[in-house]
């Protein structure tokens, strides 16, 4: 993979609040047209939240009956037991428990805070938003829908905001992709000194998601960012990039 000479990032603003069943490819196509973007030979990064809302991945907390475990955690840390219960239900296992936070391995295999369950920008005070069931499939469906509306040679990345174990602050990463190799394997290529690279595998999809995240802060009203200057190549699923637990030195 050659390094691009320049990247241009354009926020797609003006997308209406998304509800279950909305035609997301159409709404994003219209937003791109307003910005005079052709959605061709580039990457569209879309925040997970609008994917989940369009797919109906929400829970009404008024209908949730907390378990004893959820009630105990909520009382200990002054949390909403109903939301804690949803986090437990969305988790394959609890990796760590801390003051008011659960580090979970989700059903997808992601390790993140509170299994990705979030209430920010939700359509109601008692609504919790879940991660998509299969973010890679969501990215593929969105890409197909955009191509049906005239887009060409584009990749789609679904992003979400994750914390990092040894650093403060949050960063957007890719949780789903279509039309782009999520990593670039540079092993065997030569560095500037002519030495062969042995372990260099940049996380291309994560890098693009992080760049787009600068424009997609939660109060900006920007649910998608178009990145021009990098031609998509290859393909693959973000799920394939999850480190095997047998090779994970930190679990």
Q: What pLDDT, in 10s, does the model give residues 42-66?
A: 999 999 999 999 999 999 999 999 9
Q: What pLDDT, in 10s, does the model give residues 192-231?
A: 666 765 556 778 999 999 999 999 987 778 999 999 999 8
CATH for the stretch 58-129: 3.90.1660.10
Tell me if 8-55+132-247 shares its fold with 58-129: no
Q: What pLDDT, in 10s, does the model give residues 106-122?
A: 999 999 999 999 999 89
Closest CA to 241 of 179, 188, 197, 176: 176
Of 184 and 164, the one with more pLDDT: 164
Boundaries of every domain in the chain: 8-55+132-247, 58-129
Of 233 and 24, the one with more pLDDT: 24
For domain 8-55+132-247, the CATH architecture is 2-Layer Sandwich (3.30)
Of 219 and 91, the one with more pLDDT: 91
Q: How confident is the model at residue 247 (pLDDT cuts 50, 70, 90)?
A: confident
Q: Are 44 and 24 in contact (CB under 8 A)?
A: no
pLDDT of residue 117: 97
């Amino acid at each position: 993979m050659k390094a691009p000479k320049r990247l241009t990032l354009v926020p797609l603003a003006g997308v209406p609040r998304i509800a279950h069943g909305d035609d997301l490819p159409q709404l994003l196509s219209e937003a791109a047209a307003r910005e005079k973007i052709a959605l061709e030979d580039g990457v569209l990064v879309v925040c997970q939240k609008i994917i989940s809302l369009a797919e109906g991945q929400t829970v009404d907390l008024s209908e949730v009956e907390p378990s004893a475990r959820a009630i105990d955690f909520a009382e200990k840390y002054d949390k909403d037991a109903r939301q804690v219960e949803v986090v437990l239900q969305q988790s394959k296992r609890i990796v760590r428990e801390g003051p008011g936070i659960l580090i979970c391995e989700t059903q997808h295999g992601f390790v993140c805070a509170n299994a990705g369950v979030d209430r920010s920008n939700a359509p109601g005070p008692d609504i919790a938003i879940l991660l998509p069931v299969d973010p890679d499939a969501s990215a593929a469906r969105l890409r197909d829908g955009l191509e049906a509306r005239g887009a060409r040679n584009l990749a789609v990345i679904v992003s979400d905001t994750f914390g990092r174990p040894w650093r403060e602050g949050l960063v957007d990463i890719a949780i789903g992709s279509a039309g782009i190799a999520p990593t670039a394997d540079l092993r065997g290529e030569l560095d500037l000194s002519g030495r062969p690279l042995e372990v260099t595998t940049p996380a291309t999809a994560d890098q693009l998601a992080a760049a787009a995240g600068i424009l997609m802060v939660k109060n900006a009203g920007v649910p998608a960012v178009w990145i021009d200057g990098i031609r998509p190549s290859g393909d693959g699923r973000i799920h394939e990039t999850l480190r095997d637990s047998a090779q994970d030195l930190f679990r």
